[in-house]
């Protein structure tokens, strides 16, 4: 059964152009997409300098605090405010959000937090995320994360009047 599914996926992922040329799947060694296909897995959007005030409340943390204190925060509820820098919809039944608040550094890898949710947001939105910290999560196929907030609620800030 697994072989049939894998074969079907490979067949679907390989396209033949009108000229009869075969194009390889996007994740193959050729790493090419058919003409006109949107890019896949884009890097976080450049949303400029990120400086977002910390959430308030007993479970409020910054992105840097969640990343660096992940083992102490395992399975505990947190609330974090930040700017959405990347948003991918409906992957494995979840929306995937990358959040930054201006804390941490790229060099230390503690400036970006992954969040999974059913809620919607878009790059550039400032949001408040509430959920439980999960650590050492492996979704398979090379998607493993040291820390994330899983099945969170994501609430966009209300526009200022």
Q: Which domains does the chain have, with CATH numbers?
A: 1-38 (no CATH), 63-156 (2.40.50.140)
CA distance 105 to 88: 23
User: How far is CA 26 from each of CA 10, 34, 35, 36, 80, rounded to the nearest angstrom?
Assistant: 11, 9, 12, 13, 34
Q: 80: closest CA among 99, 94, 95? A: 99
User: How far is CA 134 from each of CA 44, 63, 69, 77, 127, rounded to the nearest angstrom?
Assistant: 22, 14, 12, 10, 20
Three-state DSSP state, 142: coil
* pTM reported for the whole predicted model: 0.71
- 79-120 confidence digits (pLDDT tens): 999 999 999 999 989 999 999 999 999 999 999 999 999 999
């Amino acid at each position: 059964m697994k072989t049939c599914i894998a074969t079907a996926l490979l067949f679907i992922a390989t396209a033949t152009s009108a000229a009869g040329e075969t194009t390889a799947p996007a994740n193959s060694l050729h790493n090419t997409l058919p003409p006109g296909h949107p890019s896949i897995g884009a890097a976080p959007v450049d949303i400029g300098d990120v400086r977002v005030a910390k959430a308030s409340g007993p479970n409020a943390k910054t992105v840097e605090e969640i990343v660096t204190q992940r083992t102490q925060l395992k399975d505990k509820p947190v609330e974090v405010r930040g700017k959405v820098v990347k948003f991918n919809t409906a992957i494995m039944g979840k929306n995937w959000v990358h959040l930054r608040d201006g804390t941490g550094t790229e060099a230390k890898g503690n400036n970006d937090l992954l969040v999974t949710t059913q809620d919607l947001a878009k790059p550039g939105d400032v949001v408040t995320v509430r959920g439980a910290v999960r650590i050492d999560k492996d979704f398979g196929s090379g998607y493993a994360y040291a820390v994330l907030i899983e099945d969170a609620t994501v609430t966009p800030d209300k526009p200022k009047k």
